[in-house]
Amino acid sequence: MAVDSPLSSQLGPPACERDAKALHFIEETTSHADSVQDRVLTEILTRNSQTEYLTRFKLNGATDRETFKSKLPIITYEDLQPEIHRIANGDRSAILSAHPISEFLTSSGTSAGERKLMPTIKEELDRRRLLYSLLMPVMNLYVPGLERGKGLYFLFVKSETRTPGGLLARPVLTSYYKSDHFKTRPYDPYNVYTSPNEAILCPDSFQSMYAQMLCGLLQRQQVLRVGAVFASGLLRAIRFLQLNWRQLTQDIETGALNPKLTDTSLREYMDKILKPNPELAECVRHECSKDNWEGIIARIWQNTKYLDVIVTGAMAQYIPTLDYYSGGLPLACTMYASSECYFGLNLNPMCKPSQVSYTIMPNMAYFEFLPHEPDSFGFPCDSPPKLVDLVDVEVGKEYELVITTYAGLYRYRVGDILRVTGFHNSAPQFHFVRRKNVLLSIDSDKTDEAELQKAVENASRLLREFNTSVVEYTSYADTRTIPGHYVIYWELLGKDSANSPTDEVLKQCCLAMEESLNSVYRQGRVADNSIGPLEIRVVKNGTFEELMDYAISRGASINQYKVPRCVNFTPIMELLDSRVVSSHFSPASPHWTPERRR
Ligand code: AMP
């Protein structure tokens, strides 16, 4: 018998018995958030009591919150570098976790220009699967009938490497898609994808995307939802369709697969399902050959009820473009997760993007919250910050998320700033405010101020022989192009007008900046094609002074004025763009290999 829950009682009954169980689990876990957190912390500390890390801090087997909080420091990734280095180099002793480290997850956050390596253990896969299993039962409460069709999801694996000690290092989603949890998942009518595993797991990104798009077109009438993990990924798929619809429609028309698809298992699969279908080819061609692509998603996949993509945080910049291509279909943000830990889900997934709140699931890890004072630059040394427990956060306040995980991160600062919007039972719900210290982001890249500064410094060396220097700069993530690209505004000071840097030199400056940026950025440029060539826009002398005048006219203090190193406020953009004297694009791809530099 289905157990009713407050979630479903507001919205109608669960779609099936399995959904009822999932909803009941959500209700139970969020209703007893504090005791679940107690249990989680006890479990983590008990099983890991003999680890080098917990022994070092003399926890002596204690599992209570008070002792834990008084003895263990709050840490960042940098603090864990020595331990992570040892694990990566093959030390298999119980350093952080009593369970063997099964692999490293490569986070899109970086440290010294390289992806962070997050150690994980096998059973974390079960926890991730558990969170995934809750998403459709919630969605089914809002959108009925999803079992009658399929989801067109663009999902990809990325390259993986091995650490010197032999552990795999790869992104969390690659790890998940390659796991049996995903590959041999039981049939679930509510979760059928148009993309076969052969396409999702194909390591060649062109072939993978081509096959997924082709499968989506072949099954266009069955598609009820269209998605990707992040908004940028879905827009990349639209761009791919723009570039490849002629070949795709030819394949559909003739039933013969594009010879560029050489992956054997992919070809075998496609050969089975691809039959000549001139009528479908004509229909897709008719839509794609129009100059105006507004609403293309809804025109091709007419039965789509919503887009399933993350449009919170840095991805919010893509909402207008998604609205354009989808003709205003609802945008559903379903979950909030990271390489370190999957955190929670959106219990009201059909709400507007600006109203998305994620409910942290108390069973996933032990959560603490560092009160975040906007505009403060750290805490005085004599008063250590007081962390707040999950159930004790206050509505309206902002916090930085701190986690203790089963995989062996203890009081680890994730770097995300969240604002409490309310509670579901006793579990708080959070609006994702932003990631700390991120200036620019197009896809999963996260470039901070120091990285940008270093890139400008390195590139501006090329100007020395022209007696020219960069006097001011700022940046902008231009997402009007697909893929988006970084724009850097430069104000130059040249001492020799007869010998000013040429277009070719400034192009090389663009490339030099790209070479200096972190490996996630360069991977996006080279392997994933998710970031376009970097652009330098040279602005007229005096532009940055005008920028300051503008800020002061709006109330900024003249003494404390600092040039913003990233801009996105329309009047400021307009001012900058109206002063552009020349614009230059990176002429080549920067260097990138899956191997780490260190
Ligand atoms: P990674 O470790 O590379 O998987 O990146 C995880 C980070 O991506 C998180 O810490 C967030 O900053 C961001 N992120 C993940 N999910 C969301 C979401 N639903 N909304 C906004 N940002 C998110």
Q: Whose CA is nearest to atom 19 of ligand 1?
A: 336
Task: Please say whether the beta carbons of 343 and 386 come within 8 A.
Answer: no
Least confident of 4-13, 78-87, 250-259: 4-13
Mutating to test ligand 1, I would choose from 105, 318, 399, 435 the residue with most ligand atoms within 8 A of its C-beta, which is 435
Q: Whose CA is nearest to atom 21 of ligand 1?
A: 313
The finding on whether 364 has its CB within 6 A of some atom of ligand 1 is no
pLDDT in tens, 546-583: 999 999 999 888 888 999 999 999 999 999 999 999 99
Cα–Cα distance for residue pair 161/178, rounded to 1 Å: 14
List the structure tokens of 125: 């896969």
List the structure tokens of 355: 């109203």
pLDDT in tens, 125-140: 999 999 999 999 999 9
pLDDT in tens, 51-106: 999 999 999 999 999 999 999 999 999 999 999 999 999 999 999 999 999 999 99
The pTM (predicted TM-score) of the whole model is: 0.94
**Which phi-psi region, left, alpha or beta, contains residue 90 (left: φ > 0; alpha: ψ -120 to 50)?**
left
Q: Return the ∠ at Cα 106 (arms to 525 and 108), rounded to 5°.
A: 50
Q: Is pLDDT at 383 greater than 70 in this prediction? A: no
The finding on whether 339 has its CB within 6 A of some atom of ligand 1 is yes
Q: What is the DSSP letter of 476?
A: E
Q: Return the ∠ at Cα 340 (arms to 187 and 227), rounded to 5°.
A: 45
Residues linked to residue 299 through DSSP beta bridges, in sequence order: none
CB atoms within 10 A of CB 495: 10
Mutating to test ligand 1, I would choose from 104, 177, 346, 416 the residue with most ligand atoms within 8 A of its C-beta, which is 416
The finding on whether 205 has its CB within 6 A of some atom of ligand 1 is no
pLDDT in tens, 327-371: 999 999 999 999 999 999 999 999 999 999 999 999 999 999 999
If you average pLDDT over residues 434-446, what whole number do you get? 95
pLDDT in tens, 524-540: 999 999 999 999 999 99
The finding on whether 430 has its CB within 6 A of some atom of ligand 1 is no
pLDDT in tens, 205-231: 999 999 999 999 999 999 999 999 999
336 CA to centre of ligand 1 in angstroms: 6
Ligand 1 atom having least distance to the Cα of 315: 21
Task: Please say whether the beta carbons of 406 and 39 come within 8 A.
Answer: no
The finding on whether 338 has its CB within 6 A of some atom of ligand 1 is yes
pLDDT-based confidence at residue 374 (cuts at 50, 70, 90): low
User: pLDDT > 90: what percent of the chain?
Assistant: 92
pLDDT in tens, 396-418: 999 999 999 999 999 999 999 99
Q: Is pLDDT at 384 greater than 90 in this prediction? A: no
Check residue 448 and give its pLDDT. Answer: 95
